[in-house]
């Protein structure tokens, strides 16, 4: 393959698409597929064929567009019109009405994105606040290209960075990555260039290039969407890394629960081999490189670097002490360079546009952009990419549109089980590696869980401890036993059996677990507890001393009752109560049978007259 051949492929692709009047992009990321987008795609194709429009309208599948909350998403042209929730109620009707708009050159108002007040409608995705504040670099082709069509990736500039890199000196490439300021997107934020340099300088052959696509954090789906939506970007980054470091073999470790990512990556690898981007003598440079997919072991700890390598070797995915770094002795005791898939996908952009360009985005210590999955009690949940340094307020209230039901914002959990909860007083905080660490949380791989006044912070700590107790590999005692002890204490507090001194005991255990654990799972396991104690100590005290759960979540500590002065007798609560323990006639005050109430909170969430009180 030569650059001229790349140009030819791009030209041919352009010619192929030019004949169509309209391009219809249907999101076929996991989120939209689960809301029925594959059926939608098939219906679109059928009706287009039936109406004899196949020569005029190109219907294609894309990866995730980010706005999963409103899926299935359908976009016409290049960001011309975005349609949301298409086919959610009636596939045939929606498809027919969209095809009608193509024929009559009109817009289907009903399916447009609606603003908060439900009156303002947006046509182009670029105008929707969720997208308008983003800077999509890593995700620039997600939702745009067909991830299974290598020609389209090439037409959008794909594999040009690889060609350029192969003409560069390997030290120069590492220099560029170092000067760009790129830090690992997998959690720790380690400088990528420095890691590459150590691996290149390490003694021993062969060397291995590894991509971490394990993504075990609850609530996170950034890496999945990238692997599903633009797999070639990850491959291109890895091939460049392989050349720079002096490796001929790469492995992508993909979470076992991500079959679509495995499928799209496999197809991408096959095509890259066919086109000569993988294999022998890539771009006639004499460099050879190949990539193999390895499906994860199904445990959160398998994302840890040494556990991941053991898992690829066919052993149990357990971490080992890192007296010797994996860049020197990693996979099969050979020098190995592991980076997160998002880190790899940044590399082609740095080579294409230069390290100065990348370094000009972000903050002093954290360059470039970061992909986050914004979930929880926020209005627009989904996948976003923002420049490092954007404030939490800009992310949650700007892109996220604020809190569902306009409730009060309470905290945001960043960094998954290794991270912590950040309260409202830090909403103006810029989001970058160092600021989050300073607050006792972490960037992690980019999960952001937004919480409102109806989230109990002690219960949140219990949730993460439950996860970590299950996920601890059990190799070392402080983590195996200590995290379980922490869980037992927090569970007791939530059940109303907290004792004076429990908080101090938790803090003491946290210190011991942090100091004594072998890997970062145990070392960071106390973070969700410590950060909730730091910022929400009054909630712990209310549970322990007053035996009350102020947020109304911990079932043993709450009681729902109806305020007679406020109840209008609208009957909604009685209608929604799952155990039917609310009685009352229409337009009369209702009552709750406390003996039967399971304290689910449905009545509280549904009453429009503020007539249900939590005690």
Ligand X SMILES: Cc1cc2nc3c(=O)[nH]c(=O)nc-3n(C[C@H](O)[C@H](O)[C@H](O)COP(=O)(O)O)c2cc1C
Contact set with ligand SF4 (CB under 6 A) = 301, 319, 472-476, 479-480, 517-519, 521-522, 560, 562, 567-573, 577, 579, 581-582, 590, 592, 597-603, 607, 609, 611-612
The yes or no reply on residue 74 touching ligand FES (CB under 6 A) is no
The interface region with ligand FES, picked from 65-73, 174-182, 279-287, 400-408 by CB under 6 A, is: 65-73
Give residues 17-36 in contact with ligand FES (rule: CB under 6 A).
27, 29-32
Helix (H) or strand (E) holding 410: strand 409-414
Closest CA to 228 of 30, 26, 36, 382: 30
CA dist., res. 523 & res. 478, Å (int): 9
Q: Which does 562 bind (CB under 5 to 8 A by kind): ligand SF4, ligand X, ligand FES, none?
A: ligand SF4
Among 62, 144, 247, 305, binds ligand X (CB under 6 A): 305
Residue among 261 and 597 whose Cβ is closer to ligand SF4: 597
Distance in Å, CB of 481 to ligand SF4, minimum: 9
The yes or no reply on residue 436 touching ligand X (CB under 6 A) is no
The yes or no reply on residue 71 touching ligand FES (CB under 6 A) is yes
Among 36, 133, 188, 496, binds ligand X (CB under 6 A): 188
> DSSP alpha helices (H): ranges in 315-364?
341-353, 355-359
Q: Which does 360 bind (CB under 5 to 8 A by kind): ligand FES, ligand X, ligand SF4, none?
A: none
Among 64, 102, 506, 529, binds ligand FES (CB under 6 A): 64
CA dist., res. 236 & res. 240, Å (int): 6
| Tokens representing residue 512 in the block | 């011991």
Distance in Å, CB of 332 to ligand SF4, minimum: 20
Give residues 212-231 in contact with ligand X (rule: CB under 6 A).
212, 214-216
CA dist., res. 523 & res. 540, Å (int): 23
Beta-bridged to residue 385, according to DSSP, are: 371
| 312 contacts: CB under 8 Å, gap ≥ 6 | 210, 251, 253, 294, 331
CB 212 within 8 A of CB 254: no
CA dist., res. 225 & res. 212, Å (int): 14
| 315 contacts: CB under 8 Å, gap ≥ 6 | none
The yes or no reply on residue 362 touching ligand FES (CB under 6 A) is no
The yes or no reply on residue 343 touching ligand X (CB under 6 A) is yes
Residue among 29 and 401 whose Cβ is closer to ligand FES: 29
Closest residue to ligand FES, Cβ-based?
Answer: 29
Distance in Å, CB of 64 to ligand FES, minimum: 3
The yes or no reply on residue 260 touching ligand X (CB under 6 A) is no
| Tokens representing residue 101 in the block | 């708009």
CA dist., res. 417 & res. 434, Å (int): 18
Helix (H) or strand (E) holding 307: helix 305-312
CA dist., res. 339 & res. 344, Å (int): 7
At 167, is the secondary structure helix, strand, or coil? helix
The yes or no reply on residue 66 touching ligand FES (CB under 6 A) is yes
Q: Could you list the residues that contact ligand FES (CB under 6 A)? A: 27, 29-32, 64-68, 71, 73
């Amino acid at each position: 393959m030569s650059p001229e051949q790349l140009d030819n492929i791009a030209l041919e692709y352009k010619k192929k698409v030019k004949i169509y009047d309209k391009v219809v992009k249907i999101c076929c990321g996991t989120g939209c597929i689960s809301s029925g987008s594959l059926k939608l795609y098939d219906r679109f194709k059928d009706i287009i064929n039936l109406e004899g429009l196949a020569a005029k309208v190109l219907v294609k599948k894309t990866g995730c567009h980010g706005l999963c909350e409103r899926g299935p998403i359908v976009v016409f042209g290049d960001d011309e019109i975005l349609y949301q929730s298409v086919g959610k109620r009636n596939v045939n009707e929606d498809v027919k009405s969209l095809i009608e708009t193509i024929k009559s050159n009109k817009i289907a108002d009903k399916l447009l994105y609606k603003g908060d007040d439900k009156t303002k409608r947006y046509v182009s995705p670029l105008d929707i606040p969720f997208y308008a504040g983003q800077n999509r670099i890593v995700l620039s082709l997600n939702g745009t290209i067909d991830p299974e069509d290598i020609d389209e990736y090439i037409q959008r500039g794909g594999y040009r960075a690889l060609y350029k890199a192969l003409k560069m000196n390997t030290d120069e490439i590492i220099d560029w990555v170092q000067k760009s300021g790129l830090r690992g997107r997998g959690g720790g934020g380690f400088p990528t260039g420095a890691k590459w340099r150590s691996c290149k300088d390490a003694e021993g052959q062969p060397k291995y290039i590894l991509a971490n696509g394990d993504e075990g954090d609850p609530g996170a789906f950034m890496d999945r969407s990238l692997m599903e939506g633009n797999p070639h970007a990850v491959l291109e980054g890895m091939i460049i890394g392989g050349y720079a470091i002096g490796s001929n073999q790469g492995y992508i470790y993909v979470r076992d629960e991500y079959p679509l990512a495995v499928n799209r990556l496999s197809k991408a690898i096959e095509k890259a081999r066919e086109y000569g981007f993988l294999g022998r003598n890539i771009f006639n440079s004499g460099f050879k490189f190949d990539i193999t997919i390895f499906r994860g072991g199904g445990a959160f700890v398998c994302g840890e670097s040494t556990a991941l390598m053991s898992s690829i070797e066919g052993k149990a995915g357990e971490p080992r002490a890192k007296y010797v770094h994996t860049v020197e002795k990693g996979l099969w005791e050979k020098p190995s360079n592991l980076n997160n898939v998002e880190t790899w996908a940044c590399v082609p952009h740095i080579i294409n546009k230069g390290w100065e360009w990348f370094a000009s985005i972000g903050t002093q210590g954290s360059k470039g952009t970061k992909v986050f999955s914004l979930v929880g009690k926020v209005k627009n949940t989904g996948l976003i990419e923002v420049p490092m340094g954007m404030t939490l307020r800009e992310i949650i209230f700007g892109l996220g549109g604020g809190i569902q039901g306009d409730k009060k914002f309470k905290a945001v959990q960043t960094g998954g089980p290794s991270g912590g909860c950040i309260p409202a007083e830090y909403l103006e905080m810029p989001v970058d590696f160092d600021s989050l660490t300073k607050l006792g949380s972490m960037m992690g791989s980019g999960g952001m869980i937004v919480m409102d006044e109806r989230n109990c912070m002690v219960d949140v700590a219990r949730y993460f401890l439950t996860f970590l107790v299950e996920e601890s590999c059990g190799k070392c005692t402080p983590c195996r036993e200590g995290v379980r002890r922490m869980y037992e204490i927090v569970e007791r507090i939530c059940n109303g059996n907290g004792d004076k001194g429990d908080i101090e005991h938790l803090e003491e255990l946290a210190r011991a677990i942090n100091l004594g654990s072998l890997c970062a799972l145990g070392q960071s396991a106390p973070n969700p507890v410590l950060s909730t104690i730091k910022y929400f100590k009054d909630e712990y005290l209310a549970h322990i001393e007053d035996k009350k759960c102020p947020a109304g979540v911990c079932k043993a500590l709450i009681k729902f009752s109806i305020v007679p002065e406020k109840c209008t007798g609208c009957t909604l609560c009685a209608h929604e109560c799952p155990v039917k323990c609310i009685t009352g006639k229409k337009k009369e005050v209702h009552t709750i049978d406390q003996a039967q109430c399971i304290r689910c909170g449905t009545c509280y969430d549904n009453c429009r007259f503020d007539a249900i009180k939590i005690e």
